[in-house]
A and B are shown apart, each in its own frame.
Chain A
Amino acid sequence: MSLGPYAPFIVTSYLLVSAVVIMLIGWIAIDYRRQQRHLRELEAGGVVRRSGRSATDIK
């Protein structure tokens, strides 16, 4: 597969899209872990939901 004289434009486009998609996935995964950690810390400190159910029990 030859990309011709405009290869830098094509390769940069694909790399950029890959980078942004990976950043989005990473950001969402890190955010999930952060929220789970906050909830565990609060529950460990004796703070519970009004329903009495665990806030981290979502499966």
Chain B
Amino acid sequence: MTLIDLANPTRFLTLTARLLPWLAAATAILLAIGLYQSALAPDDYQQGATVKIMFIHVPNAWLSMFVWGVMSLAALGTLVWRHPLADVAAKAAAPIGAAFTFLALVTGSLWGRPMWGTYWEWDARLTSVLILFLMYLGLIALWRAVEDPSRAARAAAILTLVGAINLPIIKFSVDWWNTLHQPASVMRMGGPSLDRAFLIPLLVMAVAFSLLFLTLHLAAMRNEILRRRVRALQLIQVAQSSQRPA
């Protein structure tokens, strides 16, 4: 099966029906391993046990940006290649990305209170992630507000690509501005600064959450394809009923 075959929604549904049980099982196993390793990870010499929040905060924060990146690629697919599944992919990813961003914000806040002495600070990293969350909500609202899927797809794709400007701002905010948030400690020049005792559980959880996203995204895409079939059939039903003699 080639990538072109996946452009066909029916083939996509067939393939994902086979793939999803395996993906869900792999996600569950990896999450269990990650949670076990997180529970056994030692306390940090400065942060104590609150370092355990990192194992869920960081994967959610990474995914909050990664999902927007996926949506940006899908937006290109909608605008440039007019791929039939591109808008489906973007629309299905938005609520999942919004959920990850919400979790990144709230777990960060719960980590910040004992470490910084405050739940919230209007610094560059926190504010730019809050803007990302609001952009997710705006996109979801846009898809709901515009009834015609093809018009909604174009508008959402343009908004997504404009919003992608925020991704490097989030990533480099801790370098460009003086922020309360710590600088990057995993994806940085010179390699991770984290000890292996923290790095390994963190990476396992990051892969587990990425698999979780993939599983949820494919399932949500299937739903969106079915929703569009329902809409198409409803339009046929309306056309048939208007042709019947009174």
Contact = CB atoms under 8 A, between A and B. Distances in A.
A1 B169 CA distance: 38
How many chain B residues sit at the interface, stated as a range, is: 35 or more
Interface of B: 10, 13-14, 17, 39-40, 43, 48-50, 52-53, 56-57, 60, 95-96, 99, 102-103, 106-107, 110-111, 113-114, 212, 216, 219-220, 222-223, 226-227, 229-230, 232-234, 236-237, 240
Interface core residue of B52, B220, B227, B236 (most chain A CB under 10 Å): B52
B48 A6 contact: yes
Task: Classify the interface of chain A: helix, strand, loop or mixed.
Answer: helix
A17 B49 contact: no
A10 B234 CA distance: 48
B233 A47 contact: yes
Contact of B226 (A2, A5, A36): A36
Contact of B53 (A9, A31, A58): A9
Task: Classify the interface of chain B: helix, strand, loop or mixed.
Answer: helix
B14 to A, nearest CB: 7
Contacts of A2: 49
A3 B47 CA distance: 11
Contact of A12 (B39, B110, B234, B240): B110
Contacts of A31: 220, 223
Given A21-B212, A25-B216, A58-B10, A10 B233 contact: no
12 contacts: A3-B52, A10-B49, A10-B52, A13-B106, A17-B56, A20-B102, A28-B219, A28-B223, A31-B220, A32-B219, A35-B223, A47-B236
Contacts of A23: 99
Given A38-B230, A42-B237, A47-B240, A24 B99 contact: yes
A27 B52 CA distance: 28
B113 A4 contact: no
Interface of A: 1-7, 9-10, 12-14, 16-17, 20-21, 23-25, 27-29, 31-32, 35-36, 38-39, 42-43, 45, 47-50, 53, 55, 58-59
A36 B17 CA distance: 14
B227 A35 contact: yes
Contacts of A59: 14, 17
Given A38-B230, A39-B229, A42-B237, A24 B50 contact: no
A50 to B, nearest CB: 8
A2 B48 CA distance: 10
Given A38-B230, A55-B230, 4 more contacts: A3-B52, A10-B49, A25-B216, A32-B219
B17 A55 contact: no
A24 to B, nearest CB: 6
